[in-house]
């Protein structure tokens, strides 16, 4: 193999390795989720994926702060209704899932089911399609908003935790997100309801599955800009190699 051919071969290998690098090769900002003394959130997500024959992938925590922005980045530009179901709630607090409007008002979407009072333990065999409840909101709604948890402690004080860390009294992230890797209109979110860095930070205090009800043909998400840039880079490299090869032969 000539020097030129060796160099071409190594460059080709590099391009192929770069294009088909494993997910996570470039680390995304991800909030740390601790193991739980009850059931780990990661276990809940995995079991819900297995039960539905799909897989969920983690959404970076610089993306799940503003829900409208997140779904627009996923290529949804027409209003779609949202439905959801509670998967688990390992909490001593009375938790209610909802969202904060632009003026900071909490709007309730799903509460802890009455039959479990404070906590709902996770059981993947218990869920049915009929568990999904229309939430009465459309996204994008024309305004920015944050998903949120309103948490009433045993002493009666009320804490509100936003998906946006800057809106929280402790400045910490209180919500983590997964998306169905085959359908970017289908999410699982988990909330931490305790304040501060000394809390257990296991994010299983309220876990909700969300998906869009879309009346019409399923919108096709647009490829992420990063993916397009990599594809362009790879194709450009291959064209360059071809030209070098022709000139060298």
| Closer residue to Ca ion (CB): 66 or 214 | 66
Task: Closer to Ca ion by CB, 47 or 63: give it.
Answer: 63
What is the footprint of Ca ion within residues 197-226 (CB under 5 A)? 200, 202, 205
Contacting residue, 15, 39, 44, 61, with Ca ion by CB under 5 A: 61
3-class state of residue 17 by DSSP: helix
Q: Is 173 in the site for Ca ion (CB under 5 A)?
A: yes
Q: Is 64 in the site for Ca ion (CB under 5 A)?
A: yes
Under rule CB under 5 A, how many of the chain's residues touch Ca ion? 8
Residue closer to Ca ion by CB (options 60, 183) is: 60
Q: Is 146 an interacting residue with respect to Ca ion (CB under 5 A)? A: no
Kindly report the CA angle at 183 between 178 and 189, in degrees rounded to 5?
A: 20
Distance (Å, rounded) from C-alpha 88 to C-alpha 98?
Answer: 15
Choose one: 11-19, 54-62, 93-101, 124-132; the region binding Ca ion (CB under 5 A).
54-62
In 10 A of CB 150, how many CB atoms? 21
Q: 153 is written with which tokens?
A: 């402690």
Task: List contacts with Ca ion (CB under 5 A).
Answer: 61, 64, 173, 175, 192, 200, 202, 205
């Amino acid at each position: 193999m000539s020097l030129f051919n060796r160099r071409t071969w190594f460059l080709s290998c590099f391009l192929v390795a770069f294009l088909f690098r494993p997910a996570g090769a470039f680390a995304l900002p991800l909030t740390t989720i601790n193991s739980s003394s009850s059931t780990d959130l990661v276990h809940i997500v995995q079991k819900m994926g297995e039960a539905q024959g799909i897989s969920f992938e983690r959404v970076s925590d610089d993306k799940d702060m503003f829900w409208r922005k997140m779904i627009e980045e996923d290529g949804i530009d027409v209003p779609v209704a949202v439905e959801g179901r509670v998967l688990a709630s390992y909490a001593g607090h009375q938790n209610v899932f909802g969202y904060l409007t632009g003026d900071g008002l909490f709007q309730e979407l799903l509460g802890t089911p009455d039959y479990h009072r404070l906590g709902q333990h996770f059981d993947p065999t218990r869920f049915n399609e009929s568990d999904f409840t229309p939430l009465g909101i459309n996204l994008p709604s024309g305004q920015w908003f944050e998903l949120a948890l309103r948490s009433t402690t045993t002493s009666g004080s009320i804490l509100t935790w936003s998906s946006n860390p800057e809106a929280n009294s402790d400045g910490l992230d209180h919500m983590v997100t997964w998306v169905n890797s085959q359908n970017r209109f289908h999410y699982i979110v988990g909330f931490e309801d305790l304040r501060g860095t000394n809390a257990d930070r296991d994010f299983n205090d309220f876990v909700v599955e969300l998906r869009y009800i879309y009346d019409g043909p399923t919108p096709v998400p647009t490829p992420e800009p990063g993916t397009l840039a990599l594809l362009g880079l790879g194709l450009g490299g291959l064209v360059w190699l071809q030209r070098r090869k022709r000139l060298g032969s």
